[in-house]
Amino acid sequence: MGGAQEFSYENSWALVGRARRRHRQGMTGPRFTKLVETLPSTVPFVGPEVQERQRGAPFDARLGANESVFGPSPFAVAAMQDATTECWQYADPTNHDLISALSARLSTTHAHIIVGEGIDGLLGYLVRMLVAPGDPVVTSDGAYPTFNYHVAGFGGVLHKVPYKDDHENVDALMEMARSVEAKLVYLANPDNPMGSWHSGSVIEKALDALPDGTLLILDEAYIEFAPHGTAPEIDPDDPRVIRLRTFSKAHGMAGARVGYGIGAPELIKSFDKVRNHFGMSRIAQAGALAALEDDAWLEEVVELVAEARNRIGAIARANGLTPLPSATNFVAIDCGEDGAFAKRVLDGLIAEGVFVRMPFVAPGNRAIRVSAGRPVDLDIFEKALPKALAAARK
Q: What is the CATH number of the domain that holds 312?
A: 3.90.1150.10
Q: Is the pLDDT of residue 74 over 70?
A: yes
| Better-scored residue on pLDDT, 188 or 4 | 188
Rounded average pLDDT over 247-253:
98
Q: Is the pLDDT of residue 231 over 90?
A: yes
pLDDT per residue as tens digits for the range 316-369: 999 999 999 999 999 999 999 999 999 999 999 999 999 999 999 999 999 999
Cis peptide before 190 (omega within 30 of 0): yes
Q: Are residues 200 and 112 in the same domain?
A: yes
Number of domains in the chain: 2
Q: Are residues 238 and 330 in the same domain?
A: no
Q: Is the pLDDT of residue 150 over 80?
A: yes
Q: Are residues 289 and 300 in the same domain?
A: no
With CA atoms as reference, report the closest residue to 199 among 157, 232, 161, 235.
232
Q: Would 30 be classed as within a structural domain?
A: no
Residue 195 region, left (φ>0) first, then alpha (ψ -120 to 50), else beta? left
**Domain final residue pick, 236, 268, 293:** 293
Sheet containing 136-140: which strands, arranged edge to edge?
Answer: 113-116, 259-262, 241-246, 215-219, 184-188, 136-140, 157-161
**Domain final residue pick, 293, 320, 341:** 293
**pTM value?**
0.91
Rounded average pLDDT over 233-262:
98
- Quote the pLDDT of residue 28: 73
Rounded average pLDDT over 72-93:
97
Q: Write down the mean pLDDT value for the chain.
A: 93
Q: Would 138 be classed as within a structural domain?
A: yes
- Quote the pLDDT of residue 7: 39
Q: Are residues 96 and 170 in the same domain?
A: yes
* Helices marked H in the chain: 2-24, 34-38, 48-55, 74-83, 96-106, 118-130, 145-153, 170-180, 200-209, 265-270, 282-292, 295-318, 339-351, 375-392
Q: Are residues 166 and 81 in the same domain?
A: yes
